[in-house]
Structures are given as C-alpha cells and as structure tokens.
C-alpha cells in the first residue's frame, strides 16, 4: 500500500428536506451571497423558492448567476467572478448538478486571484485563496459535492481542463435524495456511468495487497449497479435514489484512492471528446471505458478476473483468465447498453475528424494513466475502437 494523507473538510447533510437547514449552515460565512444555478430545473421543481426562503430568513443579500451550462464554460465562470468582485460576495451557494458545483468552485478561486482563472487549469498558477462555498446537490453523478475538483471548458479554444485545491472543497453539501426525483432518465444514466467510471479509475490499479480499498470499490460498484436500475424503473424510489446519491459521493470523495496509484486516463480522453463535441460526460465515458478495458486488461489480468467474478458474478469454472476477464468487460458494456447509454462515438454524432487532435491534447503533458501508460498512439487506438 502506498503512503498517503487524507483530509476532507466537507460537512455532508444527508436526508429528506434537509434544505430546511440551509440558513443556519450559511450564516457563519456572511450575508452577501452569490446563488449559482443552471438552466432552470431548480425553478421548475420549486427548489429555488425553498432556497430563497432560507436566504430571506437570514436576511441575506442575494445576487444570482443562472444559466450554468452542462460542461460549464470559462466565460460564464468569469461572469460570476465579476459579480463576486463588484458586489463584495462573501459566500457562494451552488444549487444544481456537477456543472453548477464546478463553476462555483472556479468562481470561488478566481474571485480572489488577480490573473485569469484558466491559469489554474494549465498549471500556470496554484490556488492560494478562495471564497467559501456550499452546495445543494440535485443530481447524483460527479462527487463534486465532496471533493476539491472542478472541470471547466474554454469554448473558444475547445479545451476542457480541471482545477483542484483543498481550498475549494464545499464547506457543506446538502444531499436530499428527493431533489433527484426529477432528474431525467438520460441524466440518471449519465450519472450512473460517471460514478462507476470514477470507481474504475481507482480500482484498476497495479498497487497490490489492498483488500479494503478493493472491497470498498466493489461495494460502491454493486450498489450503483443495483440501485441504478431501480431508480430508472421508478424515479421516485427514495431508497434507490438515496443509495445512488451516497454511492456517487463515495465514488469520488477521496475514500477509494487512499494508498492506491490511480489511473484517470479514460477521464482525460473523455474530457477531450466533450471539449470539442459538448456531449454529456457520462455518455462519453460509457462509450470509452469498455474499450479502454479491452485495450489494457492484459497488463494485470488477475484484476480483471477479480472484477468479473466479484462484480458481475461471472462463473469462472472451466474458463481461462482471458475468457473471464473479457466476460466481465462484456458485462460492463451490456449493463451500459441495458440502461440506455451509448456504445459508440457514431451514436452521439462523432466521426473520425478530430480523433488525432483529441489524442494529442490528452497526452500534451506526456503519456497518461498508470494501469497502462498510454501514449498518444494508444489513445488514438482507443478512440478509433470507439467509433
Ligand atoms: O441546468 P439545469 O436546468 O439545472 O439542468 C441540469 C442539466 O441540464 C439537469 N438537472 C440537474 N439536476 C436536475 C436536473 N434536471 C431535473 N431535475 C434535477 N434535479 O441535468 C443536466 C446535467 O447537469 P450537469 O450538472 O451538467 O450534470 P453532472 O452532475 O453530470 O455534471 C457534469 C459535469 O461535471 C464534470 C463533467 O466533466 C461535467 O462537466 N465532472 C466533475 C467532476 C468533479 N468536480 O469532481 C468529476 C467528473 O469526472 C466530471 O468530470
Ligand atoms: Zn467523471
């Protein structure tokens, strides 16, 4: 097991109707609030009114930044930074899915930085300070509610990049499973695939003798697989939505990578796809991940055998390691297809035109991944296999 340090300061407030605690959670941080939300789902569901009621109760002065795009854009983040500076914002409240949360984190860091917030994503600057932020999550997927990462897109240059710092962990995140009842089917599917992919990035590792991390990861996967289908059958199944929500948080709140060398190549490749084509992150991952698996599984076949047997209950009797591993990978693809996720780039309208550019961008700082170190050519091969 690798040496590690782990720190996660986010307070999780989990359960039905917990938005009722919002006022008291914000109050210590100040009364000048920037409320950040997306394209309007929170107005349709009534959550906006509940949030405003809470903010009025603490006499907050509220400024709003709405219209955060799925795959949030740098230009929108910059609008938020301007509001923070001109209005003396003391606290940022993100209400929405991962895109709203990520945009809010970038705004929080950018507001206290003299340069361009994009600098944090291209390793030109390190986040030294940030406004405090809190979240009300409405979509189970990214884990952004309990981590210090954000992904934003520079639409002009067609680049999607991440920033990260312990300073942008949410101070608190309210997770009410009922708030996810209205998530449309396709976004529920994207969320399921995203959570599973986060686990894959941390589970497929060359680090050995990590039984706790492996079983935790398998447990998150099994929970997502079972409850994902239940939530798709009945979007208002409280327990299914609750289990999905918590699994999404555990998948990327820093629990799983402790002591483990993680991979993250497939996320790197997906970000290049959605940077150019603006497809949903989960859709891109559903297309790419089984192809990454097929490309790399021989690096340590025993891990893929374990995955097939423990997660997909593949019967190993009389089969070679190769057969078992491939059955596990096929089961992954079959599950994605069963829940309605795309399997090829063609299905989401992407042809081979920009594959070289994506491979080049994904490897601009050198080979990516750790389970198998992927060169530009390897990335191109995986993209071609995904057409
Ligand atoms: O914009 P609104 O109107 O709110 O609608 C959203 C949006 O259209 C809708 N939605 C959200 N909650 C809803 C709802 N509709 C009805 N009822 C609700 N309760 O869902 C759509 C998608 O929302 P979005 O926030 O984009 O989805 P998601 O949470 O999957 O976030 C995706 C973004 O997160 C990044 C992705 O790259 C992508 O940009 N990621 C962030 C990570 C992180 N911070 O750690 C890690 C991930 O790997 C990922 O890269
Ligand atoms: Zn992801």
- Delimit the domains of the chain by residue range: 11-179, 184-385
Best residue among 71, 136, 187, 198 to mutate for probing ligand 1, ranked by most atoms within 8 Å of CB: 187
Cα angle 285-175-194, degrees, rounded to a multiple of 5: 5
Assess whether the C-beta atom of 40 lies below 6 angstroms from ligand 1: yes
Q: What is the pLDDT of residues 258-315, one digit of tens each?
A: 999 999 999 999 999 999 999 999 999 999 999 999 999 999 999 999 999 999 999 9
- Confirm if 107 and 80 have CB atoms less than 8 A apart: yes
Can you tell me the distance from the alpha carbon of 146 to that of 168, in angstroms, rounded to the nearest whole number? 10
Can you tell me the distance from the alpha carbon of 299 to that of 223, in angstroms, rounded to the nearest whole number? 27
Can you tell me the distance from the alpha carbon of 98 to that of 150, in angstroms, rounded to the nearest whole number? 8
- Confirm if 52 and 80 have CB atoms less than 8 A apart: no
Strands 172-175 and 133-137: parallel
Ligand 1 atom with the smallest distance to the CA of 180 is 19
Assess whether the C-beta atom of 149 lies below 6 angstroms from ligand 1: yes
Pick the CATH number of 184-385 from 3.30.565.10, 2.70.70.10, 3.40.50.720, 1.20.1090.10: 1.20.1090.10
pLDDT at 124: 95
Q: What architecture is domain 11-179? A: 3-Layer(aba) Sandwich (3.40)
Q: What is the DSSP string of 299-353?
A: GGHHHHHHHHHHHH----TT--HHHHHHHHHHHHHHHHHHHT---STGGGT--ST
3-state secondary structure of 37: strand
Q: What is the DSSP string of 60-105?
A: -EEEEE--PPSS-BHHHHHHHHHHHHHHT--EEEEEESHHHHHHHH
Distance 197 CA to ligand 2 centre (A): 6
Tell me the mean pLDDT per 10 residues along the chain, length 387.
Answer: 96 98 97 97 97 98 98 97 98 98 98 98 96 98 98 93 97 98 98 98 98 98 98 98 98 98 98 95 98 98 98 98 98 98 98 97 96 98 98
Half-sphere exposure of 142 (CA within 13 A, CB side): 25
Distance 149 CA to ligand 1 centre (A): 14
Can you tell me the distance from the alpha carbon of 107 to that of 220, in angstroms, rounded to the nearest whole number? 31
Please identify every residue whose CB atom is under 5 Å from ligand 2, which is an ion: 194
Can you tell me the ipTM of this complex?
0.99
Assess whether the C-beta atom of 25 lies below 6 angstroms from ligand 1: no
pLDDT at 179: 98
Can you tell me the distance from the alpha carbon of 326 to that of 173, in angstroms, rounded to the nearest whole number? 39
Ligand nearest to the CA of 162: 1
Assess whether the C-beta atom of 139 lies below 6 angstroms from ligand 1: yes
pLDDT at 223: 98
Assess whether the C-beta atom of 177 lies below 6 angstroms from ligand 1: no
- Please state at what angle helix 301-312 crosses helix 321-339, rounded to 10 degrees: 50
């Amino acid at each position: 097991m690798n040496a590690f340090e782990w720190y996660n300061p986010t307070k999780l407030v989990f359960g039905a109707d917990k938005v009722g605690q919002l006022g008291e959670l914000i109050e210590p941080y100040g009364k000048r609030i920037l409320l950040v939300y997306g394209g309007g789902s929170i107005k349709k569901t009534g959550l906006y009114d509940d949030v405003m009621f809470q903010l009025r109760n603490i006499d907050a002065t509220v400024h709003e930044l709405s219209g955060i795009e799925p795959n949030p854009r740098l230009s929108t983040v910059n609008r938020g930074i301007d509001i923070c500076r001109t209005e003396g914002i003391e606290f940022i409240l993100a209400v929405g899915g991962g895109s709203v949360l990520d945009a809010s984190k970038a705004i929080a860091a950018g507001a206290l930085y003299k340069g361009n917030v994009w600098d944090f994503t291209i390793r030109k600057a390190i986040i030294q300070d940030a406004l405090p932020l809190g979240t009300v999550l409405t979509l189970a997927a990214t884990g952004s509610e309990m981590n210090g990462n954000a992904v934003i897109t520079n639409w002009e240059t067609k680049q999607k990049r991440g920033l990260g710092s312990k300073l942008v962990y949410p101070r608190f995140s309210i997770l009410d499973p009922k708030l996810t009842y209205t998530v449309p089917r396709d976004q529920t599917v994207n969320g399921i695939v995203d959570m599973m992919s986060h686990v894959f990035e941390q589970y497929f590792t060359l680090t050995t003798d990590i039984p706790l991390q492996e079983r935790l990861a398998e447990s998150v996967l099994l929970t997502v697989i079972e409850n994902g289908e239940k939530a798709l059958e009945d979007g208002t199944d409280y327990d299914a939505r609750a289990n999905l929500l918590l699994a999404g948080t555990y998948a990327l709140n820093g629990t799983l990578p402790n002591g483990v060398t993680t991979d993250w190549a497939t996320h790197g490749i997906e970000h290049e796809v959605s940077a150019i084509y603006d497809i949903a992150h989960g859709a891109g991952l559903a297309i790419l991940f089984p192809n990454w698996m097929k490309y790399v599984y021989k690096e340590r076949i025993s891990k893929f055998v374990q995955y097939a047997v423990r997660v997909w209950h593949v019967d190993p009797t009389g089969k070679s390691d190769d057969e078992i591993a491939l059955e596990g990978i096929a089961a992954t693809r079959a599950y994605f297809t069963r829940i309605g996720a795309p399997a090829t780039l063609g299905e989401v309208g992407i042809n081979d035109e920009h594959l070289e550019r994506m491979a080049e961008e994904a490897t601009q700082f050198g080979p990516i991944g750790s389970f198998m170190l992927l060169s530009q050519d390897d990335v191109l091969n995986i993209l071609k296999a995904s057409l």
